[in-house]
Structure 1
Amino acid sequence: MSNEINKLSIIVPAYNEEKTILSVIGLLEKINLTGGTQKEIILIDDHSKDTTSQLVSDYIQQNPDSPLVFFSQPVNQGKGAAIHKGIELASGNIIVIQDADLELVPEEINLLLARYLEAPNQIVYGSRFLEDKHSKTNFLWHIMGNGFLTRLSNLFSGYRLTDMMTCYKMVPADVLKSLNLKEKRFGFEPEVTMKLSKVKSLNIHEVPITYIARNKEEGKKISWKDGVKVIYCIVRYKIGN
């Protein structure tokens, strides 16, 4: 791991996000990163059935100077698989993940980066529950369900997180690239957390972030079945690789 910080790779997995994708790209491009850090935006379309891919392709043609790297998966594989591809393509030495649905506020990537810059070679998660900065939250899943899964993850990982399932995870690129990540759907979140917990040279921190929850009608994709898979992944990746 290197202490030099030259570029942040922002990985954006997307599936059927035609309503928000251009807004997300625009907001990410406008961010002036803390410390003058350079950025690249890596957008992975997970074989969307809507116009997401076409919108991004048209945007790139119209904005040739954009720091946007675009890859379209040949078949739909899941959020985790899209992130795997983004990690493979990342050229920065720090990586953060940004959802394409505007549940999170892209400008708040700087909150994570400011904490990271205090001591490079650490992990920074953005927590939706450190402070009351969320709206339209489904109490049953996002507070009770997420809280249970996070506590279970903490029990196995030794961390003291408040939001293991958060999208905002900022990690040294060489660490992420070294992990043998397997989960192609929402199992990515517990898998990467459990595997990061085994990298003893890294500390982990959380910063509070804003969260604007979507419902299923608005495009929310996670379900109770994914919650069951999360429990399985926590146990599986504590025991093995």
Structure 2
Amino acid sequence: MIYIFCTFIAFLYFLQIYFYNKYFKKILTFEKKFFFNKKVFISILVAVRNEEKNIFHLLNSIFKQNFPKKNFELILVDDFSEDKTSEIIEKFIEKTDNFLLLKLKNKSKNGKKYALKKAIKKSKGNLIITTDADCIMGKNWLITIASYYEKFRPKMIVAPVLLKGEKTLFQKMQSLEFLSLIASSAGAIGMKKAIMCNGANLIYEKKIINDDFFFEKSVSGDDIFLMLNLKKKYKNQIHFLKSKDAIVFTKSQKTFSDFIEQRKRWTSKSKFYKDFDIIYVSILIFLKNFLLFFNFILSFFEKKYFFLFLILFFTKSLIDFIFLKRTSKFFEKEFEKRIFLILQFVYPFYIVFVAIYGNFASFIWKKRKINNN
């Protein structure tokens, strides 16, 4: 019975990643043909907290955009920073006419969601873009997004986010895993079964948003719950912007503990999911990795479990290799076989731990201890 179940899960996983790979390939690359006709006004929204080391680079990236300044605004909302974040912003915006800093007056456990809602109410744009304070982007980022929106008019655009500046083995492993999430997100959107997005590069029409879309019960997940709510009504109007010019770059986590805290935060919102597609994929990935973990441990006691482990490991590694090699090539990320192989061994242990622990434990975010239960 265990053989049949393991083989069945291996087959389902292989099929899932095969289709992600297929539909990622089918998404047309948006070339450098700018269609922007200056009818769209864009509001870029950023919730900030304790970002004194990063915020200048974001401000500078947006300031240098190859885009008419009269057609966009940047609204930053400070969520009770305890460092010099606000001072740096205030000094920078003295030389701009379209950058604005707001400060929250009331503390809330849903700090980021509260900040974004405040920014949306203040915004003048008909198109909203959210990003994060620790991000940077190329000079054609805005013009690419605006041109894509002008041409296709989707309700939501999910754009790529990648890690940058990887030097250590740990950082390279994070980068490859992060790429797998972005690529899977793209493939799922190509299938019209959106399951993931990243608020560091998320675009949507202001007119379709209401307060309920942010789902207040979960502290994290301002991006995913917004997308899942839009999916109910606009399933076919959620697009992935497949363009190198649209990429936003962010940093990897410096330490293993920071990485685990981030993943706990991401996992904590899973208990609130009601969408079939995301529940199915989440369970499938957990089962696949749990069975790898389970059979690996039992293989020390009985040889038959080692055979099952090999079946699960090689089917997963084969399809993951094909998928990640293709997506790495598109995004011009170096694909190191050594990093891939190490990640394949480590991933099942990490997934099982985070999936279980993240649903019950509190997490630390920007020096705040948060309980999402």
TM-score, with structure 2 as normaliser:
0.51
Q: Give, in whole Å, the separation in 1 of the partners of 2:174 and 2:272.
A: 18
Q: Give, in whole Å, the separation in 2 of the partners of 1:230 and 1:144.
A: 19
Number of the residue aligned with 2:271 = 232
Q: Does the CA-based 8 Å contact 2:161-2:182 persist in structure 1?
A: no
2:239 maps to amino acid: H
Alignment match of 1:13 (pick from 33, 43, 47): 47
Number of the residue aligned with 1:214 = 252
Number of the residue aligned with 1:80 = 113
Alignment of 1:88-237 (within 5 A): 88-102=121-135, 104-105=137-138, 107-128=140-161, 136=166, 138=171, 144=177, 147=180, 159-161=192-194, 164-177=197-210, 179-183=212-216, 185-200=219-234, 203-207=237-241, 208=243, 209-216=247-254, 223-235=262-274
228-237 or 92-101, which deviates more: 228-237
Q: Give, in whole Å, the separation in 2 of the partners of 1:214 and 1:69.
A: 28
Show structure 2 runs of 5+ residues with no match: 1-37, 278-373
2:100 maps to amino acid: V
Deviation for aligned residue 1:125: 1.0
Deviation for aligned residue 1:123: 1.5
Q: Give, in whole Å, the separation in 1 of the partners of 2:237 and 2:79.
A: 32
1:205 maps to amino acid: H
Q: Give, in whole Å, the separation in 2 of the partners of 1:87 and 1:206.
A: 22
Change (3 A) 1:165 1:201: closer
Counterpart of 2:86 in 1: which secondary structure?
A: helix
Deviation for aligned residue 1:117: 1.2
Change (3 A) 1:147 1:57: same
Q: Does the CA-based 8 Å contact 1:96-1:169 persist in structure 2?
A: yes
- Count of residue pairs the alignment pairs up: 228
Which has the larger helix fraction?
Answer: 2
187-196 or 175-184, which deviates more: 175-184
Number of the residue aligned with 1:25 = 59
1:51 maps to amino acid: K
- Give 1 or 2 for the bigger CA radius of gyration: 2
1:44 maps to amino acid: V
Counterpart of 1:198 in 2: which secondary structure?
A: helix
Alignment match of 2:82 (pick from 49, 55, 65): 49
How big is each residue's C-alpha offset from its partner over 1:33-63, in whole Å with a ceiling of 9 and x where there is no partner?
38x8700111011111101112223334x33
Number of the residue aligned with 2:307 = none
Q: Does the CA-based 8 Å contact 1:40-1:67 persist in structure 2?
A: yes
Residue 91 (structure 2) pairs with residue 58 (structure 1):
yes
1:108 maps to amino acid: W
How big is each residue's C-alpha offset from its partner over 1:69-91, in whole Å with a ceiling of 9 and x where there is no partner?
21111336432322222112111
1:24 maps to amino acid: L
Alignment match of 1:69 (pick from 87, 92, 100): 100
Q: Does the CA-based 8 Å contact 2:43-2:123 persist in structure 1?
A: yes
Deviation for aligned residue 1:159: 3.6
Change (3 A) 1:94 1:16: same
Change (3 A) 1:198 1:57: same
Identity %: 18
Q: For the aligned residues, what is the CA RMSD?
A: 3.8
Which has the larger strand fraction?
Answer: 1
Q: Does the CA-based 8 Å contact 2:228-2:275 persist in structure 1?
A: no
TM-score, with structure 1 as normaliser:
0.74
Deviation for aligned residue 1:118: 0.6
Q: Give, in whole Å, the separation in 1 of the partners of 2:182 and 2:62.
A: 30
Q: Give, in whole Å, the separation in 2 of the partners of 1:107 and 1:99.
A: 18
Show structure 1 runs of 5+ residues with no match: none
Q: Give, in whole Å, the separation in 1 of the partners of 2:119 and 2:137.
A: 19
